[in-house]
Amino acid sequence: MLSKSRRVEIGSLTQPAEGATMYMVAENTSIPVPKVHCAFERKGINYTPMVRIPGKMLRLGWLDRSPESKAKILSQIKGIVDQLRLIPPPSDQVISNIAGGPLFDSRLGGGSYHGPFNTLQEFHRHLREDYDGDEDLPDANRLVVRHKQYCGKPVLTHGDLNTMNITV
């Protein structure tokens, strides 16, 4: 039964790997995340029953906040991102969702699912849609050069961190 303290994410955009991610974050950080009861798919629809975290979306009332309040929230978000990046990856040099499967991002071309990728270079090449340089596009060429440089090992991050999925 649903109540003010429970919610279920439902839909084709809800990913079962999100439940595994929230569980891993809860186990390895002090970041407040909803307690996920389970995550499953039935008849092409994904369900993630979880405990609701009290509060409201950050975007609601952001413009009315004082500069001090905004600075405090931004500092807390930085701390959260820092904690996420300290969680050891499940495997070396793989860019994937937490369960090792494809990343979900409907903003990228070529469908909503991408990867998994064995290297950062493979991931970056995918993001560039296999673009590998052209003399007539100096800005794009600089991006290709930057992507080919070593930038460290992959870390856990939030793929679409924004004011609609942060609760205050």
Q: 59 or 98: which carries more pLDDT confidence?
A: 59
Q: How far from 107 is each of 91, 101, 103, 110, 111, CA to CA, in Å? A: 26, 18, 12, 9, 9
Residue with tokens 């849609």: 129
Tokens 């990856």, residue located? 89
What confidence score (pLDDT) does residue 70 get? 97
Find all residues with CB under 8 Å of 139, minimum gap 6, and list them.
none
Distance of CA 107 to the CA centre of its chain: 13
Pairing mode, strands 113-114 and 45-51: unpaired
Query: pTM for this structure?
Result: 0.77
- Mutual angle of helices 120-127 and 138-148, in 10-degree steps: 160
Return the pLDDT at 60.
95
- pLDDT number for residue 6: 55
30-82, pLDDT tens digit by residue?
999 988 888 878 888 888 888 888 899 999 999 999 999 999 999 999 999 99
Q: Could you report the per-residue pLDDT of 99-141, keeping only the tens digit for each? A: 888 988 878 878 888 999 998 889 999 999 899 988 788 999 9
Evaluated on CA atoms 91, 16, 160, 138, the torsion sign reads positive
Give residues with Cβ within 8 angstroms of 150, minimum separation 6.
none
CA distance 123 to 61: 36
